[in-house]
Structure 1
Amino acid sequence: MQFHPFTLIIQALLSLFLISYITKWLYKKTYGNKKNLPPSPPKLPILGNLHQLGLLPHRNLQSLAKKYGPIMLLHFGNKPTLIVSSADSAREIMKTHDVIFSDRLESSVGKRLLYNCKDVSIAPYGEYWRQLKSICVLQLLSNKRVQSFHYIREEETALLMKRIKREYPTGSIDLSEMLTQFTNDVVCRSAFGKKYSAVENGKKFILLLKELLELLGTISIGDFVPMLSWINRVNGFDARVDKVAREFDEFFEGVIRERMENPKKLHGDNFLDILLHIYQNNSTGVTIDRDSIKAIILDVFAAGTDTTSTLLEWEMTELLRNPTIMKKLQHQVREVVKDKNGIITENDLEKMPYLKAVIKETLRLHAPIPLLPRVARKYVKVMGYDISAGTLVMTNVWAIGRDPASWHEPEKFDPDRFFDSRVDYQGLDFELIPFGAGRRGCPGISFATATNGFLLANLVREFDWALPDDVEDLDMSERPGVAIHRAVPLVAVAKQKKMWNS
């Protein structure tokens, strides 16, 4: 017996329709009357709530949360998305149900730029991810390793101080550019034994890194509405992703080839050489290929540079906007080192509680990465609501830091609030989780804060800072990306404080 192809197609479609109908009927009969979903704003067909997101989604989501509550259900296309905007709901995600919400969203952009999710930041939860995180923490990010890099922080800080002294007589200086190069140099020397900003096309490399982070922070509509994926091809977005991926791959391939061809060349006991040893000897029991190394290198480059430079940028922004707080911080820092000819050591930072308060307050108002995504691995109840497996969860740590339920006068920059509070940013106090918490919390907190605190103390010790004469008030607008930088570079006037000769 023969069937006409058209007849087969009709039969197949009817079968699929029948199966789909029966499946939905059974699901509704079993769960429909019992399902308790979080509050949701109205959505559009196909797009869901995507039309309610702008270039700065953390702000859009905060506005929606004020109307629909600290835990709400949106739909990005057909993807159910839980938005978490309070300390209590964040605790449920990152502590109570940490294992269930331990996966990351696999985006098409992330796969192309991060070597098919072989990096630490978005690799699926499992043995491979655990091994990679263990290697990164043990060999680069542990407290012991971070302390061993103190000489790098000191040398690079001294170089930056000299650069500022060299440039400030000419007028205003671009602090944003300086801070990005500084953090990148510290990261590269610590992880790879050399810095790459000084090599040929060093500035091009920094700009390439900036573009990569902007692309990673862009919502690709094709990930949520596949039928609209053609938009990214037409508007040039896909071409930009492919170009950045190709240029970074060529750069990393050159770095790896150089090390493997010159194994005896001294770079110090650095992270990259340890990675290559693991790659060549399979000494961890988990397979790490060449792409894995590139993905890890990219993680270190991007995360290490971007989050720290962003924090420094906003710290100096807030200090310039609040001269009284700047003077109070300068007084404490200078008092601690007044009998040491102004030389700061990392041990001195422990005697500067106001410095810690300024850092905490900046992290509260300007969390470097405002939205922390996770994915539910199975069905779970969160605060009484039913959350399906595969639901995307976005924790809006930026909104949590400005939540009036947790903070008095939340929009005010007030470091003094932390003198009467034990709240810290280590992932135990969910009112302040700029680095996340739980298994997927940032493993580089010690590295970032050590670099940040040491440089900030030196910047306010060595110089008096002010806005340029033609600037009455700073533009506080933000630039889209994974980390939220200032939209316009931070330009300031520095004058060296002549107090150490007295």
Structure 2
Amino acid sequence: MELLIILYLLLLYILIRATFSLLGFHKPKNLPLGPARLPIIGNLHLLGDQPHRSLAKLAEIHGPIMSLKLGRLTTLVISSATAAKHVLQKQDLEFSARHVPDAMHACNHAHHSVAWLPVCTEWRTLRRILNSNIFSNSSLEANQHLRSQKVKELVAYCRKATSLSNDWVDVGRAAFRTSLNLLSNTFFSIDLADPYEDSGKEFKEVISNIMVEAGKPNLVDFFPMLKKIDPQGVRRRLNRHFGKVLEIFEKLIEERLRMGRLKQDDVLDVCLKLNQDNPNELNHTHIKSLLLDMFAAGTDTTSSTLEWAMTEVLCNPHTMTKAKNELEKVIGKGNIVKEDEVLRLPYLSCIIKETLRLHPPVPLLLPRRVDKQVQLNGYTIPKGTQVLVNAWAIGRDSSVWDDSLEFKPERFLESRLDVRGQDFELIPFGAGRRICPGLPLAIRMIPIMLGSLLNNFDWSLDTNIQHEALDMSEKFGITLSKAKPLCVVPKPLN
């Protein structure tokens, strides 16, 4: 609604500034089918405040490869596993460039970010650092004790909440704090939030604001002539949000450098050592942008997925019972789940896959762009086209999934489908060279958090907030979070 109001207020301005080419909304030849376009705005009026849902409904009419005109921006929407496989695997290189939203230019972040850089030498260097020093098997194994400790602290926090006043727990906030401290210990060897108190709220709000602002439709992206005006103030707000987080990172870097020596005990030491050895390859700006990417993506997506999983389990008592029975049989009631035990908990893994199918953390993945004209399935995709892969729609495709809108973890018990980017029916983390670099950490962290919470407590809704707690409405941004926080009461099992 906000977008439409601003859009119509600016319509007169756009008409005055528009050139004849802007008014000539002729459709390029051989584009995929798509909805009829209005002058000037094209199909912008069809997005609504839940673009992933709106685009899924349009794809039911116009097909899994669909074209739209969003202001000046030609957009290709991919809504099936088959089409996604072409874009993300068979023609991955041709579709690997990024469409960078104007918002990501705040604090010049897009110029140094592994998430938004094009596939180039700089991007390859940053990906290599991530893959070799943070998300490699050896690095993850070395930090397994940190993940175990943070999950113990999460359980202790929930136990403390109920022992003091039989109080409810905001699951999303508690999970965010756990993810935040895991990352901050991995990178800086410190907690950024008190693990046993309800702290870290301000940092969570900043990260949540970043995801919402970065994900919302922004007129500047559709009408580049408005860039200097920034009519919705998205870039101005993100300058402020980014600035707060980057200031924290800058202080931590300065403090580490003042220590005078690097022991390579954590990721910051590794990055600073790489910077000393080759400052042209990795400078301090790169390091801060890398940290911003990891903290923004790693905290919000993990906490959101855990919150959705807990919500679905509470909505489906038979799922809760089966999960608890499996946990009790395999590891014993009241114990913390260890990473090497997850393989012996197939139903728990099925719950997480089913959660990611229905609630992918990034519903439209991050937008791609074609830098030169390409052919796709017989269609001609012009240079500069934005490409959106609707992972949310793919996960709910009724031609692929039986009872596609129902939460049924059992569907994965006899299935080899996985979330690692090889099965295009289920791509919550993307696929191809642009797959989420944090996937190896996420698939280790989420099961032990969810399993430990289910295995240590009986969960019930606070009667005063029951309706709001299980409200399944979504808050759209880059990540798809729950609009109403899940607040539940944990009762310890021992």
TM-score, normalised with respect to structure 1: 0.88
Q: Which runs of 5+ in 2 are unaligned?
A: 1-18
1:441-452 maps to which residues of 2 (within 5 A)?
441-452=435-446
1:226–1:265 Cα change, 3 Å: closer
Q: Deviations over 1:377-397 (max 9, x none)?
A: 222111111111221100000
Q: Is the 2:327–2:455 Cα contact (8 Å) retained in structure 1?
A: yes
Task: For residue 98 of structure 1, report the CA deviation from its aligned partner.
Answer: 0.3
Pick from 267, 289, 292 the counterpart of residue 271 of structure 1: 267
Q: Is the 2:73–2:221 Cα contact (8 Å) retained in structure 1?
A: no
The AA in structure 2 aligned to 1:397 is: A
- 1:153 to 2:147 alignment: yes
Task: For residue 476 of structure 1, report the CA deviation from its aligned partner.
Answer: 0.5
CA distance in structure 2 between the partners assigned to 1:247 and 1:443 by the alignment: 24
CA distance in structure 2 between the partners assigned to 1:59 and 1:49 by the alignment: 15
Q: Which residue pairs with 1:346 in the alignment?
A: 339
The AA in structure 1 aligned to 2:206 is: L
Q: Which residue pairs with 2:134 in the alignment?
A: 140
CA distance in structure 1 between the partners assigned to 2:235 and 2:115 by the alignment: 22
1:52–1:390 Cα change, 3 Å: same
Q: Which residue pairs with 1:301 in the alignment?
A: 295
SS of equivalent residue, structure 1 residue 420: coil
CA distance in structure 1 between the partners assigned to 2:336 and 2:391 by the alignment: 36
Q: Is the 2:173–2:204 Cα contact (8 Å) retained in structure 1?
A: no
CA distance in structure 1 between the partners assigned to 2:282 and 2:214 by the alignment: 23
1:11-90 maps to which residues of 2 (within 5 A)?
35-90=29-84
Task: For residue 232 of structure 1, report the CA deviation from its aligned partner.
Answer: 3.4
Q: Is the 1:114–1:298 Cα contact (8 Å) retained in structure 2?
A: no
Q: Deviations over 1:207-237 (max 9, x none)?
A: 222212222112221122134447634x543
TM-score, normalised with respect to structure 2: 0.89
CA distance in structure 1 between the partners assigned to 2:208 and 2:463 by the alignment: 29
Q: Is the 1:435–1:442 Cα contact (8 Å) retained in structure 2?
A: yes
- 1:375 to 2:369 alignment: yes
Q: Which residue pairs with 2:487 in the alignment?
A: 491
The AA in structure 2 aligned to 1:272 is: L
Task: For residue 278 of structure 1, report the CA deviation from its aligned partner.
Answer: 1.5
- 1:481 to 2:443 alignment: no
SS of equivalent residue, structure 1 residue 73: strand
Q: Deviations over 1:117-170 (max 9, x none)?
A: 311111111111111101011000112211211111111111111111111242
Which moves more between the two structures, 369-378 or 469-478? Answer: 469-478
- 1:332 to 2:318 alignment: no
1:398–1:191 Cα change, 3 Å: same
CA distance in structure 1 between the partners assigned to 2:149 and 2:414 by the alignment: 35
The AA in structure 2 aligned to 1:349 is: V
Q: Is the 1:115–1:292 Cα contact (8 Å) retained in structure 2?
A: no
- 1:187 to 2:183 alignment: yes
CA distance in structure 2 between the partners assigned to 1:76 and 1:116 by the alignment: 22
Q: Which residue pairs with 1:456 in the alignment?
A: 450
- 1:262 to 2:256 alignment: no
Q: Is the 2:56–2:79 Cα contact (8 Å) retained in structure 1?
A: yes
Q: Deviations over 1:426-475 (max 9, x none)?
A: 11110000000000011211101111111111111101112223425710
Q: Is the 1:114–1:295 Cα contact (8 Å) retained in structure 2?
A: no
CA distance in structure 2 between the partners assigned to 1:479 and 1:447 by the alignment: 24
SS of equivalent residue, structure 1 residue 115: helix
CA distance in structure 2 between the partners assigned to 1:379 and 1:135 by the alignment: 32
Pick from 203, 206, 210 the counterpart of residue 204 of structure 2: 206
Pick from 118, 133, 137 the counterpart of residue 112 of structure 2: 118
Pick from 203, 216, 223 the counterpart of residue 225 of structure 1: 223
Pick from 214, 217, 228 the counterpart of residue 216 of structure 1: 214
Q: Is the 1:478–1:486 Cα contact (8 Å) retained in structure 2?
A: yes
Name which one, 1 or 2, has greater alpha-carbon Rg.
1
Q: Is the 1:46–1:225 Cα contact (8 Å) retained in structure 2?
A: no
Q: Is the 2:336–2:455 Cα contact (8 Å) retained in structure 1?
A: no
- Runs of 4+ that moved beyond 6 A: none
The AA in structure 2 aligned to 1:361 is: E
SS of equivalent residue, structure 2 residue 109: coil
Q: Which residue pairs with 2:425 in the alignment?
A: 431
CA distance in structure 1 between the partners assigned to 2:490 and 2:191 by the alignment: 26
Q: Deviations over 1:289-322 (max 9, x none)?
A: 2221111010111111111111111100100111
Task: For residue 341 of structure 1, report the CA deviation from its aligned partner.
Answer: 7.3
- 1:252 to 2:249 alignment: yes
Percent identity, aligned pairs only, is 38
Q: Which residue pairs with 2:308 in the alignment?
A: 314
The AA in structure 2 aligned to 1:185 is: N
The AA in structure 1 aligned to 2:221 is: D
- 1:414 to 2:408 alignment: yes
Q: Is the 2:368–2:388 Cα contact (8 Å) retained in structure 1?
A: yes
CA distance in structure 1 between the partners assigned to 2:73 and 2:339 by the alignment: 47
Pick from 460, 466, 476 the counterpart of residue 466 of structure 1: 460
The AA in structure 1 aligned to 2:210 is: L
CA distance in structure 2 between the partners assigned to 1:135 and 1:342 by the alignment: 35
Q: Which residue pairs with 1:365 in the alignment?
A: 358
| Alignment length (residue pairs) | 466
SS of equivalent residue, structure 1 residue 475: coil
CA distance in structure 2 between the partners assigned to 1:247 and 1:281 by the alignment: 29
SS of equivalent residue, structure 2 residue 134: helix
Q: CA RMSD in A?
A: 2.4
